[in-house]
Every structure is written in C-alpha cells, then in structure tokens.
Structure 1
Amino acid sequence: MLTLIGLLTMGALVLLLIVGRTSPVIPLISVPLIGALFAGFGPAELTTFFNEGIGKVMPIAVMFIFAIIFFGVLQDTGLFRPLINTMVRVTRGNVVAVAVATAIIGMLAHLDGAGATTFLLTVPALLPLYRELRMSPYLMLLLLAMGAGIFNMLPWAGPLGRASAVTGIDLTELWRGLIPVQVVGAALLILLAIVLGLRERRRIDSGTNTPTAEASQSVKAGIEELSEEARALQRPGLMWFNGLLFLAVLVSLFSGALPAGYIFMIALCIVLIVNYPGGKQQMSRVTAHAGAALNMGMIILAAGTMLGVLAGTKMLTSIAQDLVTVLPEASIPLLHIILGVFGLPMELLLSTDAYYFGLMPIVLEVAGTHGVDPASVVYALMVGNIIGTFISPFSPALWLALGLANLDLGRHIRYSLFWMWGFSLVLLAFCWSWGLL
C-alpha cells in the first residue's frame, strides 16, 4: 500500500511540475503532505519530517538567496558587459571567429547562473551581426545555449543546488567533482564551434562575409544601447576591484574555507558597500534582485519539506524495494547511467524541478540498494541532462531568447537536438573515464 501511495504521490508531483500551471512551491509542499495523510501519518510525524527536511536544505537556500543577489549586483556594475562587447567587435566579419566567440560569450554571460540575463545580454548584441553575415540565428542560439548549459553546473546556477537538496551532499563538494567536466566541456564547445563555424562558412556565399558599414553601425548600436537607469548603475572605475572580488569568491568556494552561504553573505556586503555606498542605493539593488533570489530560496525550502516527508514516510524506500524486484538484476547498478544517456531528450518531457525532485530521488533509492554512490547518481543524471537545459519548452529563459531573436521553438529543437545530445554523451563518457560514475 505504501508503494502505491508513493507512486501516486510521485506521479502527481511530476505531472503538476510538468504542466507548470502553478508555482513549483505549491506541488512540492502540498502533494507529499496529502500522500502522507493518506498513508496515515499525523501532525506529530509531519512536524518531525518537516524539521528534518528543512534542516538539510537551509544552508543551500541561504547560499542561493545571497548568491543570486550578489551576482545580480555584479551585473549591475557592468563587470561582464565590456568583455562581451569587445569579443563581438573583434570577431566582426569572420564567421568561424563569430561562432567561437558566441560559445565563449554564452559561457561568460552565464556566470551569474541566470538564463534570462544570459540571453538579454547576448542576443541583442549578436543578432545584427549574424543577420549581416547571413549566419543562421539558430546556430547562435545553439552555441549560447550549450555555453550556458556548461556553466549551469556552477553551484549557484540552480541544478546543483537541487541535487544537493535531494542528496544532502555539500554543494561545493559536488561542484569540485564537476570542475574537470566543465573545463573539458568548455574546450570541446570551442572545438565544436570551430566545426560548426566552418560548416556555416561553407553554406554562406563567400562574397557576403564582410559586413557593410550600416551593419557595423547596427551591431555597435546593439552593443551600446543601455537605458539611462542601467548606465547610471555601472561602475567602470571599479571594474578591477569587482573582477578581483569575483575571483576571490570562486577561490573561496573551491577551497571550502567557509560555508558557501557565508561566503556570498560577505561578498554581497563588500560589493554593495564599495559600489553603492548609500543606504537607499543598496536597498534598491537588493530589492531589484530579491524576487529571483526569494523564488529560488522558496523552491529549495519547499523541496526540503518534500524530501523530509518522502524520506520520513519511507515512500521512496518502499518504491525502490519493489522496483528492485521488478527490474533486471544487471540493470540496477547501471540505472543512473542508462537514464543519464537519455537525460537530454527527457528535457523535452520533464521540467528541471520534475527531473531533480521527481526522478532523481527514486533513482537514488533504487541505485542505493546496490551500493551506488549518491554523487555518482548526481553526476550521471546532471551531465546527461544539463546541456539541454535551454532546449526544453519548460525553460522560461528559452522562450525569452526565442522572442528576442524571433525564432521558432520547433526549428530550434530540430537544429540543436543532435548536437546537444551528442555533446552530452561525450561529456558523460568523460565522466565515466574520469571515475565520476
């Protein structure tokens, strides 16, 4: 009976997360609660489940809230914009160089972990150049999306936080294992950009590779066009200080000298005091980014209650034990790898929340019966899936990018799916050879 209730609970949870008619917070809290009540658990047990679940994810929620605001403020100062603008300018007219620069820009623009910011920063700057060179805007979107996907493995980007919340493994500990994957992924993406750039150059008539003066002016306008408010927030005189602060945060996260949440608390204080010394300015910057920070923090906390209830009621354990009796014995220790292989196509069927909060807990339980390390499950499911983050119809940031470039989702999927999936499989193979799986 507990397995049946657990399956209905997980099925309803995944379905509601896929449909996306409500905030993810609502099904994450309400569905496990209803399942626990049907299984016969009362207020005393639910209180225990809540406290245990919240206790596991509180450090992650704190880290996300302060990290999102910190990187939002860094974006306000204009730290990343000059680098991106410079790359756009120096690659003008060379199709292969433009493709390589697009891949690099996609990674750099995603340093704050926000997909919407990535596309707002890059698509308006690059699109006029792509149009003038007669390069496919779908190539632009593919390279930006893959670059953002690689950097989506950063601790503050979202997926890793979800995985940490589900497994209870320290966020920075998980990230350390993924750093080689990100380095290899970045190098491979540049090589792929060269290949796709050469293919694109062959497609284009050689006489149209030099942009006109009018097009150059339009690209320049796309780079420099900033609102009065955005221009007032920029701090070009503090560029070096902000860059060093950003590097210091990365080094601190890697070293593990302090908890990640505390690192971002300290960094936020410094970036606000130095760049926006007035109290009103500081509150204005915090308020500007508080919505995104609070949304992510709420999701992590709601996920904590969900996992506390599912773990406390033993629903996942019951499902896993019954699945073990049904699945072929030889497939169970490899279940996470098998699902990782198909992780990217699953982006078309499952939202990020459904993937990490619906599928991953069950895989962890099933694989755990055969002694598979939870970190290996995370790496297999994440690496197999994350490159396709911005091919999923469940990604709001992708719809923003499509709107900015006036592109079609179906055509984007047809253009990008083969390259994204193949890229994911190569990274998954590297994870296996590196010993992460």
Structure 2
Amino acid sequence: MLTLIGLLTIGSLVVLLLVGRTSPILPLIVVPLLGALFAGFGPEAISGFFTDGIGRVTAIATMFVFAITFFGVLQDTGLFRPLIGGMVRLTRGNVIAVTVATALIGMLAHLDGAGATTFLLTIPALLPLYRKLRMSPYLMLLLLALGAGVFNMLPWAGPLGRASAVTGVDVTELWRPLIAVQVVGVVLLLALAALLGWREQRRIAAGQCADEGVLVETGTDLHEPSAEERELERPQMMWFNAALFLVVLAALFSGVLPAGYIFMIGLCLVLMLNYRSSKAQMQRIAAHAPAALSMGMIILAAGSMLGVLTGTGMLTSIAKDLVQVLPAPLVGQLHIILGLFGLPMELMLSTDAYYFGLLPVTLEVVSGLGVEPASVVYALTIGNIIGTFISPFSPALWLALGLAGLDLGRHIRYALWWMWGFSLVLFAVAWGLGLF
C-alpha cells in the first residue's frame, strides 16, 4: 500500500511539474503532504519529517540566494561585457573563429549559472554577426547551449543544488570531481566548434542556404547596453572586480569556508567596492532578489518534499518493490542505464521532475547494492545536463528562441544528435575517471 501511495505521489508530482501550470514550489510542498496524510501519518510525524528535510537543504538554499545575487551584481558592473564584445569584434569575417568564440562566450556568460542572463548577453551581440556572414543562427544557439551546459555543472547553477538537496551531499563536494569533466568539456567543445565552423564555412562557400527560420531584424552590429545599464557599469573597478571574482572561485575550490559564507562575503565586498551608498546597494539586492529567492524557495520546498518522502518510507518501499521487478543484473547499473539516455529525457522531463522525481527513486534502488549517492548523481547529471537548453520545459530556451527568432522544432532537429553525442563523450570521460 505504501508503495502505491508513493508511486501516486511521485507520479502526481512529476506530472504537475511537467504541466507547469503552477510554480514548482506548490506541488513540491502540497503533493507530498497529501501523500503522507493518505498514508496515515499525523501532524506530529509530518512536522518531524519537515524539520529533517529542511535541515538537509538550509545550507544549499543559503548558497543559492547569495551566489545568484553576487553574480548578478558582478554582471551589473559590466565585468563580462568587454570580454564578450571584444571577442565578437575579433572574430569578424572568419567563420571558424566565430564558432569558437561563440562557444567561449556561451561559457563565460553562464558563469552566473542563469540561462536567461546567458542568452540576453550573447544573442543580441552575436546574431547580427551570424546574419552578416550568412551563418545559421541554429548553429549559434547550439554552441551557446553546449557552452552553458558545460558550465551548468557549477555548484550555483541549479542541477547540482537540486542533486545535493536530494542526496544530502554538500554541493561543493559534488562539484570538485566534476571540475576535470568540465575542463575536458571545454576542450572538446572548442574542438567541436572548430569542426562545425569548418563545416559551416564549406556550406557558405557552396552557396547553400542556412535553415534560418524567422530572424529578428536588428539595425546594429553589436548589442549596446541601455542607459540604465551604463549607469550601473563600473569600468574603473574592472580589475578589482575581476580579482574578487577569481578569489571567490579559489575559495570555492579550496573549501576554506562553506560555500554560502563565501558568497555572503563576496556579495558584501562587491557591493562596497562598486555601489557606495546604502540606497544603491539595496537597489542592486532588490534587482536580483526575485531570481535568488525563487531558487532558494525551490530548494527549501524540495527539502520538505524529500523529508516527507523519506520519513514516511515511501522511497524505500518503492525501491524494494522495484528491485523485485527488475532483472537482477540491471539493478546495480540502473543509474548508468538512465544516464545514457539522460539527454533525450530532457524532452520529456523538466529539470525539477528529473532531479526531484527520478533521482530519489534511482538512489533508493541502487544504494542497497552499495552504490554511493555521489556516483548516482554523476551518472544522471552528466548524462542529462548538456541537454538543459534543448528542453521545451526550459524557460531560458524559449527566451533564446524569441531573441533569435527561431523555431523550437528546428532547434531540436539541428542540435539533438550533436548534443546527445557530446553528452555521451563526457559520460564516457566521467566513467573513465571513475566517477561512477
């Protein structure tokens, strides 16, 4: 009976997350609560489940709130804009240089972990250049999506935070073994960008038409920031901001302090250095509060969900019954099998459904056979994360399509096999490194 209630609870949760008619916070809180009540648990027991679950994710939620605000303020100062603008100017006329620069720009722009920011910074700057050189804008979007996917493994980007909330493993501990995978991913992406640039150059030389869709008209070669954005920029503080950025990254690498505390200190310093008045500081915090609080609330809601699902025994019951059904040789390899098909599953599952629906059940199934939680996270994450921006459930992708005037179906047809192949290569690299 508990297995049935657990399956109905998780199934309802996944469906509601996929439909997207409400904020993810609502089903994450309400559905497990109803499941616990139907399973016969009272307010006192549910309160204990909630407390345990929230305790597991408080540090993660804190890190997200301050990390998103920190990187948002750095973006306000204009730290990354000259890098992007300079790279665009340097690549004019050379198709291969443009594709390589696009991959680099996509990664740089995704340092704050926000897909919307990535596309807002890059597409208005790159699209006129692609049009001028008669390059396919779908190639541009593919390379930006791949670059953002590689850097989506950063601990403040979202997927690892969700995985940390599910497993209870510290997010920076999860990230450190992934650094080697990211480095390989950067090198592979630059090589792939050069290959695709060479292919695009041949297509243009042959006079073939690019599958451009409906492009947005723009009258400028490069996206110019608005007057309001110019007022927030601090070009005279660029080197100080760059040094602060590197110090924060070094502190995260070393683990000298908890990640949330590092971002708290970093946020204080970036505000004091760039915006001296209390009014200006509060305005910058308020500007980024919606994104920061949204992710923090999702993590806290996920904590309550996992506390209830774990405390009631639903996950354990589902896992035990699933082990009885699956062929014995497949049980211990379930996370690897799912990881191989992680990217195509982006077309069917949202990020929340993947990490809060699929990951907990997989974890329960294989943990009984001695598989470490981190190994399950790496298999499912690496297999899936590159496809973040091919998913119709990604709001940032819809923003990108709107900015570039492109069609989702054509983007999927153009990018799916390249992205899946890329993810499988990274999957093999991680496997070879012993991550799972």
Q: How high is the TM-score relative to the length of structure 2?
A: 0.97
Cα distance in 2 for residues equivalent to 1:178 and 1:240: 28
Q: Secondary structure at the match of 1:154?
A: coil
Cα distance in 1 for residues equivalent to 2:236 and 2:285: 21
Cα distance in 2 for residues equivalent to 1:327 and 1:206: 53
Which residue is 1:326 aligned to?
325
Question: Cα 1:333–1:207, aligned 2, differ >3 Å: closer, same or farther?
Answer: closer
Deviation beyond 6 Å, 4+ runs, structure 1: none
Cα distance in 1 for residues equivalent to 2:258 and 2:42: 35
Question: Cα 1:207–1:358, aligned 2, differ >3 Å: closer, same or farther?
Answer: closer
Task: Map 1:75-224 to 2 at 5 A.
Answer: 75-205=75-205, 221-224=220-223
Cα distance in 1 for residues equivalent to 2:92 and 2:207: 15
Which residue is 1:243 aligned to?
242
Cα distance in 1 for residues equivalent to 2:206 and 2:224: 31
Q: Secondary structure at the match of 1:204?
A: helix
Which residue is 2:261 aligned to?
262
Q: Is the 2:79–2:242 contact (alpha carbons within 8 Å) kept by the matching residues of 1?
A: yes
**Which residue identity is paired with 2:17?**
L
Question: How much identity, in percent, do the aligned residues show?
Answer: 74
Cα deviation digits, residues 85-134 of structure 1 (max 9, x gap): 00000000000000000000000000000000000000000000101111
Q: Secondary structure at the match of 1:223?
A: coil
Cα distance in 1 for residues equivalent to 2:354 and 2:388: 11
Question: Cα 1:207–1:6, aligned 2, differ >3 Å: closer, same or farther?
Answer: closer
Which residue is 2:282 aligned to?
283
Cα distance in 1 for residues equivalent to 2:221 and 2:287: 24
Which residue is 1:55 aligned to?
55
Which residue is 2:342 aligned to?
343
- Give the CA deviation at 1:205: 2.3
Cα deviation digits, residues 249-288 of structure 1 (max 9, x gap): 1110111110000000000000001100101000000000
Which residue is 2:11 aligned to?
11
**Which residue identity is paired with 1:385?**
N
Tell me whether 1:378 sits opposite 2:377 in the alignment: yes
Which residue is 1:214 aligned to?
none
Q: Is the 2:96–2:201 contact (alpha carbons within 8 Å) kept by the matching residues of 1?
A: yes
Cα distance in 2 for residues equivalent to 1:13 and 1:243: 42
Cα distance in 2 for residues equivalent to 1:269 and 1:431: 36
Cα distance in 1 for residues equivalent to 2:270 and 2:311: 41
Cα distance in 1 for residues equivalent to 2:174 and 2:426: 16
**Which residue identity is paired with 1:80?**
F
Cα distance in 2 for residues equivalent to 1:55 and 1:394: 29
- Give the CA deviation at 1:225: 1.3
Cα distance in 1 for residues equivalent to 2:27 and 2:63: 23
Tell me whether 1:426 sits opposite 2:425 in the alignment: yes
Q: Is the 2:391–2:397 contact (alpha carbons within 8 Å) kept by the matching residues of 1?
A: yes
Tell me whether 1:415 sits opposite 2:417 in the alignment: no
Which residue is 2:434 aligned to?
435
Tell me whether 1:401 sits opposite 2:389 in the alignment: no
Q: Is the 2:128–2:222 contact (alpha carbons within 8 Å) kept by the matching residues of 1?
A: no
**Which residue identity is paired with 2:323?**
V
**Which residue identity is paired with 2:144?**
L
Cα distance in 1 for residues equivalent to 2:187 and 2:257: 30
**Which residue identity is paired with 2:320?**
Q
Cα deviation digits, residues 281-335 of structure 1 (max 9, x gap): 0000000000000000000000000000000000000000000010010001110
Cα distance in 2 for residues equivalent to 1:338 and 1:184: 22
- Give the CA deviation at 1:226: 1.4
Which residue is 1:27 aligned to?
27
Cα distance in 1 for residues equivalent to 2:316 and 2:222: 54
Which residue is 1:358 aligned to?
357
**Which residue identity is paired with 1:100?**
V
Give structure 2 stretches of 5+ with no counterpart: 209-217
**Which residue identity is paired with 1:305?**
S
- Give the CA deviation at 1:224: 5.0
CA RMSD across the alignment: 1.1
**Which residue identity is paired with 2:96?**
V
Q: Secondary structure at the match of 2:70?
A: helix
Cα distance in 2 for residues equivalent to 1:226 and 1:74: 15
Cα distance in 1 for residues equivalent to 2:327 and 2:58: 38
**Which residue identity is paired with 1:264?**
F
- Of Structure 1 and Structure 2, the greater helix share is in 1
Cα distance in 2 for residues equivalent to 1:28 and 1:93: 50
Which residue is 2:312 aligned to?
313
- Give the CA deviation at 1:39: 0.3
Q: Is the 2:129–2:221 contact (alpha carbons within 8 Å) kept by the matching residues of 1?
A: no
Cα distance in 2 for residues equivalent to 1:29 and 1:384: 28
Q: Is the 2:80–2:109 contact (alpha carbons within 8 Å) kept by the matching residues of 1?
A: yes
Cα distance in 2 for residues equivalent to 1:225 and 1:425: 38
